[in-house]
């Protein structure tokens, strides 16, 4: 951690205390998009957090980024999703884009002038990305795209998306027929509906429809067909570190609230923190959180070195997201009836946490990735 990193984290903490924490309950219960907070995140530079300095971003390490995400998720997880999906899109362009694409888009992504996200999932394809059906056909110096994407974060309020398509649906293996485009909203690109969710309120999740949408060939990321899946998976490494950090944030919030409440609430003549049953829960929650943090920082360090880190990111995402779920449930049990009430934030943690075990690749898929990498790295 440099002095600049520490200063950024301090600034984020002050912003959360002053401008976010007092309004979270109202916005979350109303499922209202936090326009003012998004503007403040833009001013703080969060939409350029991991974008290189030469393109106007903050150029933060993944480790510092993870700590920022944890702080924000501890207060309101939905905010971290608004810039996470955007930064995955930026990571795809940073890692795989042509020099012209980087020069054109990254400065606008960093400033927040253009905000958006990642468009991978379809009604019949999520974990198995190679099963997508969205088709892009070459037509002169453009492509014509048809199909539907669903569960797209920032789908309503975003204006640009890293869009995964099939340019050759007959290719074998299937991934060789997949490509990714920088797709800005325009004629033929519409938002069909906002999708309602159990938790993760405030942030817009939407279905996107492409009907003879024409996009310049110059917007094909990397300028070469057949590289889309690799580009998407590279971006998802950062996304999974973000999700792991969110899991840490939720686990931390649940623990802090439980430690505080257990000293206030009394039963049988003493604070419940003096009952062994509650102490066992708190001990498990604290250990789970610390282990999740260490895995997350380990994955972030691997990402910062530029080495392949799908196993490390998968381990962090898997363990930290499960920690968020388990800590949120234990917090509800410690709070009793108040944990089930909308007067306390515990019920929000409980609603938000399950998304983390599904988003950016299910935890079942993470375990498979981990196992395959173990074999690959230790061949006999």
Q: Which CATH number characterizes residue 330's domain?
A: 1.20.140.10
**Same domain for 373 and 276:** yes
**Same domain for 258 and 144:** no
Contact present, 207 and 149 (Cβ < 8 Å): yes
Q: Report, as an integer, the average pLDDT of 252-269.
A: 97
> What integer pLDDT is reported at residue 235 of this predicted model?
87
> What integer pLDDT is reported at residue 128 of this predicted model?
87
Q: Is the peptide bond before 173 cis (omega within 30 degrees of 0)?
A: yes
Q: Report, as an integer, the average pLDDT of 162-187.
A: 96
Using one digit for the tens of pLDDT, what is the confidence trace for 207-240? Answer: 999 999 999 999 999 999 999 999 998 888 999 9
**Residue 127 pLDDT grade (very low, low, confident, very high; cuts 50, 70, 90):** confident
Of 84, 83, 68, 88, nearest to 37 by C-alpha is: 83
Q: Which CATH number characterizes residue 179's domain?
A: 2.40.110.10
pLDDT at 33 exceeding the cut of 80: yes
**Same domain for 146 and 94:** no
**Same domain for 282 and 348:** yes
Q: Which residues contact 125 (CB under 8 A, 6 or more apart)?
A: 131, 132, 133
Of 270, 266, 250, 265, nearest to 330 by C-alpha is: 250
**Same domain for 202 and 288:** no
> What integer pLDDT is reported at residue 365 of this predicted model?
94
Domain boundary among 52, 84, 111: 111
**Same domain for 96 and 125:** no
Q: Which residues contact 337 (CB under 8 A, 6 or more apart)?
A: none
* 284/292 Cα distance (integer angstroms): 12
Q: Which two tokens stand for residue 323?
A: 């920690």
Q: Is the peptide bond before 123 cis (omega within 30 degrees of 0)?
A: no
Q: Which CATH number characterizes residue 68's domain?
A: 1.10.540.10
Domain boundary among 78, 111, 144: 111
**Same domain for 209 and 234:** no
Share of the chain above pLDDT 70, in %: 100
Question: pTM for this one?
Answer: 0.94
Domain limits for position 340: 230-377
Using one digit for the tens of pLDDT, what is the confidence trace for 263-322? Answer: 999 999 999 999 999 999 999 999 999 999 999 999 999 999 988 899 999 999 999 999
Share of the chain above pLDDT 90, in %: 93
| Angle CA 118–124–125, to nearest 5 | 45
**Same domain for 217 and 157:** yes
Q: Which two tokens stand for residue 120?
A: 């991978």
**Same domain for 326 and 340:** yes
Contact present, 92 and 120 (Cβ < 8 Å): no
Catalytic residue set: 360
**How many separate domains does the chain show?**
3
Domain boundary among 196, 227, 258: 227
**Same domain for 215 and 270:** no
Q: Report, as an integer, the average pLDDT of 236-258.
A: 96
**Residue 2 pLDDT grade (very low, low, confident, very high; cuts 50, 70, 90):** confident
Q: Report, as an integer, the average pLDDT of 42-60.
A: 97
**Same domain for 322 and 201:** no
> What integer pLDDT is reported at residue 53 of this predicted model?
97
**Same domain for 69 and 14:** yes
Average pLDDT over the chain reads: 96
pLDDT at 1 exceeding the cut of 80: no
Using one digit for the tens of pLDDT, what is the confidence trace for 306-350? Answer: 888 999 999 999 999 999 999 999 999 999 999 999 999 999 999
């Amino acid at each position: 951690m440099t002095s600049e990193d520490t200063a950024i984290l301090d600034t984020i903490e002050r912003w959360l205390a002053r401008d976010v924490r007092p309004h979270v309950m109202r916005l979350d219960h109303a499922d209202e998009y936090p326009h003012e907070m998004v503007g403040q995140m833009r001013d703080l530079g969060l939409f350029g957090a991991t974008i290189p300095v030469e393109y106007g971003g903050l150029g933060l390490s993944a480790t510092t980024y993870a700590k920022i995400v944890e702080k924000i998720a501890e207060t309101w997880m939905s905010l971290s999703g608004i810039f996470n999906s955007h930064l995955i899109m930026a990571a795809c362009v940073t890692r795989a884009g042509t020099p012209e694409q980087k020069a054109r888009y990254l400065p606008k992504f960093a400033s927040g002038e253009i905000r958006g996200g990642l468009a991978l999932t379809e009604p019949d394809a999520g974990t198995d990305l190679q099963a997508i059906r969205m088709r892009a056909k070459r037509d002169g110096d453009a492509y014509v795209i048809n199909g539907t994407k669903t569960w797209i974060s920032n789908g309503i309020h975003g204006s640009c998306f890293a869009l995964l398509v099939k340019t050759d649906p007959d290719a074998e293996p299937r991934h060789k027929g997949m490509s990714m485009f920088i797709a800005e909203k325009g004629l033929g690109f519409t938002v069909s509906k906002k999708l309602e969710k159990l938790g993760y309120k405030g942030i817009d999740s939407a279905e996107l429809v492409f009907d003879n949408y024409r996009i310049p060939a110059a917007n094909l990321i990397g300028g070469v067909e057949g590289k889309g899946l690799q580009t998407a998976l590279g971006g998802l490494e950062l996304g999974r570190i973000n999700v792991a950090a969110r899991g840490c944030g939720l686990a931390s919030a649940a623990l802090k609230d439980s430690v505080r409440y257990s000293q206030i609430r009394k039963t049988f003549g003493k604070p419940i923190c003096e009952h062994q049953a509650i102490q066992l829960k708190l001990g498990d929650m604290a250990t789970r959180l610390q282990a999740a943090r260490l895995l997350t920082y380990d994955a972030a360090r691997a990402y910062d070195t530029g080495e392949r880190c799908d196993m490390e990111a998968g381990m962090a995402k898997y363990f930290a997201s499960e920690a968020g779920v388990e800590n949120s449930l234990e917090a509800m049990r410690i709070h009793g009836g108040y944990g089930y009430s909308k007067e306390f934030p515990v019920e929000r943690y409980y609603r938000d946490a399950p998304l983390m075990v599904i988003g950016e690749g299910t935890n079942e898929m993470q375990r498979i990735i981990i196992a395959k990498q173990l074999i690959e790295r230790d061949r006999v």
